[in-house]
Structure formats: C-alpha cells, structure tokens
Amino acid sequence: MSGVKTWLAGGVAWLIAIVNFFPIFWMLLASLKTEVEAVQTPPLFIFHPTLANYRDIFALQGYAGYAFNSIAISVLATLLMLLVAVPAAFAMAFYPGRYTRDILLWMLSTKMLPAVGVLVPIYLLSRDLGLLDTRTALVIIDFLSNLPIGVWMLFTFFRETPKDIIEASRIDGANVGQTILYVLLPLVAPGIASTALLSVILCWNEAFWSLNLTAHNAAPLTAFIASFSAPQGLFWARLSAASVLAIAPILAFGWISQRQLVRGLTFGAVK
Amino acid sequence: MKRHSAARVISGMALTVGMLAGSAFAATAATITIATVNNSQMVEMQKLSPIWEKKTGNKINWVVLEENVLRQRATTDISTKSGQFDILTIGSYETPIWGKQNWLVALDDFPASYDMADVFPSVRQALTESGHLYAVPFYAESSFTFYRKDLFDKAGLTMPTQPKYSQIKAFADKFTDRAHQQYGICLRGKPGWGENMAYLDTLVNTSGGRWFDEKWQARLDSKAWHDALTFYIDLMRRDGPPGANSNGFNENQALFATGHCAMWIDATSGAGLLYDKSQSQVADKVAFTAAPIDKTPNGSHWFWAWAMAIPSTSKNVAVAKSFLQWSTSREYIELVGNTDGWTVVPPGTRASTYANANYIKAAPFASYVKTAIMTADLDHPTLKKVPYTGIQYVAIPEFQAIGTTVGQMVAAALTGQMTVAQTLKQAQASVTSTMEQSGYTQ
C-alpha cells in the first residue's frame, strides 16, 4: 500500500512538473520553427529545426546590452534590498514592538497597489531627477518593490532562530552588527540565499516599469521580448526565440541554485 | 620635479586634444532615438539605416515597442515633455489629433527633391491637420477581400469584382467544412478599436450606419448597426473559425496562410506574406477582390497609414527631418527593392512605386491595393452626414476608449454572452455617457 502511495505521489509530481515545463518546451520548439510552422494547426511536433530566428535576432537587436542591463539591475536591486531588509527583519524578529505585526501587514499591503496607479507620479519624478532610461531608476524601483517580500521572508527565517543564541552573543559583548554578521547570518544563510534568489527572479521578470521607464540605454530583457510582438505579420517563432534567449540565463541560474532555493524555502519547516 | 611638470604638460595636451576632438564630433554628429513598432517594413528600415548613418555621420538608437505600449509611451513622453524620442511611429488616427495639439513638428519644409506630389493625395490628406503635414508615411493600407481561387474554381463559382455581402454569405456557407477545419470566412473577433472594430466599422458604414450624427449624438441604436452586428455574428457563428473572438489580423493571416480560410476580409498589407511561398501554403491559390459592400460603397474599405513624426520635444529636429526625408523617399523604396526584393517594399505611399515595372511584376496585388487606397475617402466615410473623419475610426481622442469598450461588448455578443439588442443598448449608453462627459453633447 505504501509502495502504491509512493508511486502515486511520484506520478502526480511528474505530472505537475510536465504541465509546468510544457510551455517552456513548446516555446523552445516554436523558436526552432519557421513562422508558418509555428502557427500551424494542428501543431507540428516533427519538423526541420532551424536557427534562423536566433540568427535574425542577433543580427538586429543588441541582445548583450539587454542581458547586461537585466543582470546589473537584478543584482544591484537585490543587494540593496538585502542591505535594508536584513536589519529591518532582525529588529522585527528579535526586538518586536507593539506595532511590529501591523507594520509587517502594512508593508505587505503596499504590494497590493496596482503599479499603474503610481505610473504618472513615478514617471514625472524620474523625469525631474534625470532618471528616465537609466538603470538607477529601475534598481530603485525593483529594490523598493521587493523590499516588503524580502522583509517578510527574512522575518520568518529569523523568527525560527532561537532568541537565546542572539542573547548569548550580546552577553559575550557582540554589538548588533557583529551579532547579525557573525551569529545570525551563518545560521540563516539558506533563508537569505532563497530570499536573494527570489528577488533576482522577480527583478528579472519585471516588465511594467521596464517598458514604461526605459528606452534604449537601460532596457532589460523584458523590453527585449516585448519588442518582438508585431502588429502585423507572423512573429511567434521569433518571439519564442527571443523569449528563450531572455529566460535562458535565469533558468540556468535557478537550475544551478535549486538545491539552495529548496533548502531555504523549507528552512525551519521540520523541527 | 621636472618629471612631474612634463607629465602635467603631456596630460594637459592630451586633454586639450581630446576636448577638441570631442567638440568637433559633437558639432557634426547627433544621436537620434526612434520609437517604432515591430513590423517587416520597420525591420527592413533598421537593417538599411546604417547606410544613412554612414552617409551623415549621425547615429540611431532604435526602441522597438509593442503597438499599444508605443502609443502609451509616446503619449506620456509628449504630454510630459520628457523628450526621450526624436522620431515616433504613429498612425493616421493619432497624427491629426496630436498635430492639432501642437505635439508634433510640422513637416511642410521638405525640399523639392523629396517629391511630395508623388505621395498619394489620400495619404497626405490623412496626415495633414489645419493645412500642415505632421507625419510622413512609410506604408499605407486599405482593406479588401482575400479568397482561395482554387476553391472557387473547384466549386464552379466566380468571385465578383465588387462583391456584395449577400454573396459573401452565400460563398461562406458553401465553403465551410468544419470536419476538415476549413472555414468559409475569417474575420477579426479580438476586441479592440484597432481589431474587431476596424472591420465592424466598415460593415456598419456600408450598411448605412454611423457612430454619430451631425450633432455628435451616438447612433449605435440604429437599425443599420443592428443589421450589421446581426449579420457579423450570424456569419461568424455559422462559417467562422472556432474561438474567433481571439482572432485579430495576425491570427487570421496565419489561418489563411495555412489553408483554413476560404475568404478573409482584412488589410491589404496582408497580401505580401500570403504571396510569399516561404511563408504561405496558399501562395499560388490566393486571389483578391474589393471589400464587400451592402447599401453604400462609402466606408466599405478602410484606410490606415503607419507614418513617422517628430515630437515637438525633440532636441534634434534637423537630424530627425533628414532621416525622415531619406527613409520615406522614392530612393529608399528603390533601395529596398534592389536590396531585399520588390515584394517587401513599403506599399501604398507613392505613385512611383505603382509605376515601377519591377514592383508590378513582383506584386500582382498592386493594382487592387492602389485602387483601394485611392478610393478610401476619409472625409465621407458613411451614407449619412457625420461630423468626423476616419473610416474604421473616428478621429477624436476619445475614440480609443470608446472603440475598445464597444469592441469588448461586440466580442461578448460573438461568444453569446449578450444578445445583439443588449449589446447595442449597452454600447449606446456607454458612448452617450462618454460623449457627454467629454463635452461633445449636453
């Protein structure tokens, strides 16, 4: 019976994995087809693969520039986020005040505001500060957008750490900075890694602000993908190739760090 | 001590030389930013623009955006005077509206060598406001009927030169064979002012309907609208492809190119791809005729031009004008023809293109396109008098919102969520309310 259950659970897991992976697989297939093959009904599974779409993309669009912007924006915004979120979560987890929970809820509630609601003020601010079409603008926005999630995640991880360890380090003479740096961080490293990974992924996938605040200099890969959507003419194959190129780095990054990510996300789940 | 002085002198000289070189470069060259949509003509232009860059010493930054994002970005950029773009790709709908608001630089001073008279009068007219030309066209289109000649021949039928909608309906019934995924007709169903409403507006026009009367009162509750919408929904349900409410230009073009549609009424610019054997499975079977008519020929086929304009916030107007003169010139069209073939040249803009033997040979649909563009009358789009211009749109700023809202209601009717009567009642109320709020009516 137990064997059947394991088999069943494995089967369901595989099914979910296949369903999740299928769109990516289909996108990869479409990127290797001609435009007509990409829109064929019924869909084609057997065809002569071509790299023409990738060749066209590299010939016309500066992929490297877009990729550099994505990497720079994601990494810098994540570092900034950690710099602020770690001490904030530390204070809330180990020295909670009367309104700590309210503050946490309020922080989370800011994520519920549709981005378009603040488009005009942020656009005007960016214009007045000379930040339109700069990586700085996107770093600041991504950093602030992901800060509530970062604080929440780190707060949850920190709360799992026994308070006694923190107090013991304070008794031994460590100041707050030393306590965080030498005592807390090594203990919650998987949690911090998964928070950072999640932030990088969210920054990488951010499209709304990228499309609205950048033009040429700071446009990341999300803007690169959007540029392949054509008002007239077939474009699915080239759009798929552009999407594959855009998600490839983050997919590889996620694949390499999946062990750390899973460890972080299940941190403290089993005691 | 001496070594330090020598180093300072050398550094100073290097700095001076560098500054001089820098200032000389700045005086002769500029970088312009062009925001555009991604279509084959613009891709071609991107490929060929290094020729202009090399010739003038200027540089172009291309910003390619999705059509709706481009409209939003351009509107935001101009209205907030951000000046991020030097050239914008805009349509014949936006040009007069933005020109009227002084958002665009007038392009009346192009040199005689540009040969403005060679640009079709209807195209010039569409891009002109209060006597000033505010954009130059890089391609223009109308709408007509694509059909499968092989199916017509097999059935012993002949498509008339000027079909009537009653004939189109009979043909569509004849050719629909759902078991073999062959549909009598493919029409736009995806909601949007530039999607399903572009087609439906031509059907309403030719059925005798109009958006507004002379006093800007909405007229969507008229019999003509009711007849047109009923016809469209019945036809699509009986002879259209499944999931038609998701189909726009691209989806229908793909369906036609892969042999699933017997007829398709849409933009003339779709012809090039359907004639291209590398992209179309029906390249040797496709034929064309005029857009169908019903009660009146007025407004039965639309007019649209993608054009390039210079926002008034541009800091490089002279360089931007120089690029526009090059990229929309007769010489540029010849350059495209000689470089990448005559089927991909920007169509619909210049009379000289349609007098070019190479183009006529490569594009057998050329005469149909020319006739459709020349006969599309933006000033008389309907049977009865109207206070607006535009065939598949009404050239007022509010139309984007109005058209899309009504388009969503039409799509709901197509999927059976609402009846025709309910749809038109809601649409009439919605349009009336918008027009009152905008001050057109009391």
Concatenating the DSSP letter of every residue in A211-229 gives: HHH-SSSS--HHHHHHTT-
More confident residue, B183 or A58: B183
Query: B142-302+380-437 architecture in CATH?
Result: 3-Layer(aba) Sandwich (3.40)
User: Which of B66, B82, B253 minimises the CB distance to A127?
Assistant: B82
Q: Give the model's confidence band at B235: pLDDT under 50 very low, under 70 low, under 90 confident, else very high.
A: very high
The answer to which of A143-147, B186-190, B269-273, B398-402 has the lowest mean pLDDT is: B269-273
Pair A190, A267: CB distance under 8 Å = yes
The domain covering B2-140+304-362 belongs, at the CATH homologous superfamily level, to Periplasmic binding protein-like II (3.40.190.10)
Task: Give the B-side interface with A, CB within 8 Å.
Answer: 33, 35, 37-40, 43, 46-47, 61-67, 69, 72-73, 76, 80, 82, 84-85, 181, 249-251, 253-255, 257-258, 260, 267, 269-270, 273, 278-281
Q: Is the pLDDT of residue B130 over 50?
A: yes
Q: Is the pLDDT of residue B309 over 90?
A: yes
CATH 3.40.190.10-classified regions of chain B: 2-140+304-362, 142-302+380-437
Pair B141, B267: CB distance under 8 Å = yes
Token pair belonging to B428: 């009439």
Q: Is the pLDDT of residue B277 over 50?
A: yes
- Strand, coil or helix: B368: helix
| CA distance to partner chain B, nearest, from residue A148 (Å) | 28
Select from B259, B84, B130 the least CA-distant residue to B183: B259
Give just the sign of the alpha carbon dihedral B337, B339, B343, B346: negative
Distance CA B357, CA B342 (A): 10
Unique residue bearing structure tokens 């079977």: B285
* Residue-level pLDDT at A270: 46
H-run or E-run covering B312: none
Unique residue bearing structure tokens 């990127």: A31
Q: What angle do CA B116, B122, B123 make, to 5 degrees?
A: 60
**pLDDT tens across A71-83, in order?**
999 999 999 999 9
Token pair belonging to A222: 């999300």
- CB contacts < 8 A, A to B, total 98
* Residue-level pLDDT at A267: 60
Domain A62-227 part of CATH 3.40.720.10: no
Task: Give the A-side interface with B, CB within 8 Å.
Answer: 34-36, 39-41, 59-61, 120, 123-124, 127, 132-133, 211-212, 215-217, 219, 223, 226-235
More confident residue, B11 or B102: B102
- Chain A partners of B63 at a C-beta cutoff of 8 Å? 215-216, 219, 227
| CA distance to partner chain A, nearest, from residue B344 (Å) | 12
Distance CA B169, CA B231 (A): 9
Q: The whole model's pTM is what?
A: 0.80
Q: Give the model's confidence band at B25: pLDDT under 50 very low, under 70 low, under 90 confident, else very high.
A: very low
* Residue-level pLDDT at B14: 44
Interface contact A41-B40, CB threshold 8 A: no
Q: Is the pLDDT of residue B220 over 80?
A: yes
Give just the sign of the alpha carbon dihedral A243, A248, A253, A256: positive
Distance CA B421, CA B412 (A): 12
Q: Is the pLDDT of residue B13 over 70?
A: no
Interface contact A230-B37, CB threshold 8 A: yes
* Residue-level pLDDT at A170: 86
Tell me what the pLDDT averaged over chain A comes to: 88
B42, B250, B255, B280, best to mutate vs chain A, most A CBs in 10 Å: B250
Concatenating the DSSP letter of every residue in B238-281 gives: HHSPTTGGG--HHHHHHHHHTT-BSEEEEEGGGHHHHH-TTT-T
Interface contact B257-A36, CB threshold 8 A: yes
pLDDT (average), residues A226-232: 78
Q: Is the pLDDT of residue B286 over 80?
A: yes
| CA distance to partner chain A, nearest, from residue B248 (Å) | 9
Tell me what the pLDDT averaged over chain B comes to: 90
End-to-end CA distance of chain B: 86
* Residue-level pLDDT at A191: 87
* Residue-level pLDDT at B11: 46
- Chain B partners of A133 at a C-beta cutoff of 8 Å? 84
Q: Is the pLDDT of residue B129 over 90?
A: yes
* Residue-level pLDDT at B53: 96
B33, B45, B59, B64, best to mutate vs chain A, most A CBs in 10 Å: B64
Please state, as a whole number, how many other Cβ atoms lie within 10 Å of the Cβ of residue B133. 22
**pLDDT tens across B167-199, in order?**
999 999 999 999 999 999 999 999 999 899 999
| CA distance to partner chain B, nearest, from residue A109 (Å) | 28
Q: CA nearest A126 in B: which residue?
A: B82
pLDDT (average), residues B390-409: 93
The answer to which of A167-181, B13-27, B167-181, B383-397 has the lowest mean pLDDT is: B13-27
pLDDT (average), residues A222-245: 85
Interface contact A234-B253, CB threshold 8 A: yes
Q: Give the model's confidence band at A187: pLDDT under 50 very low, under 70 low, under 90 confident, else very high.
A: confident
Concatenating the DSSP letter of every residue in B63-124 gives: EE--HHHHHHHHHHHHHTT----SEEEEETTHHHHHHHTT-B---TT--GGG-GGGB-HHHH
pLDDT (average), residues A121-133: 93
Interface contact A123-B269, CB threshold 8 A: no
* Residue-level pLDDT at B18: 42
Q: CA nearest A41 in B: which residue?
A: B258
**pLDDT tens across B311-366, in order?**
999 999 999 999 999 999 999 999 999 998 888 888 999 999 999 999 999 888 88
* Residue-level pLDDT at B399: 94
User: Which of B40, B69, B82 minimises the CB distance to A211?
Assistant: B69
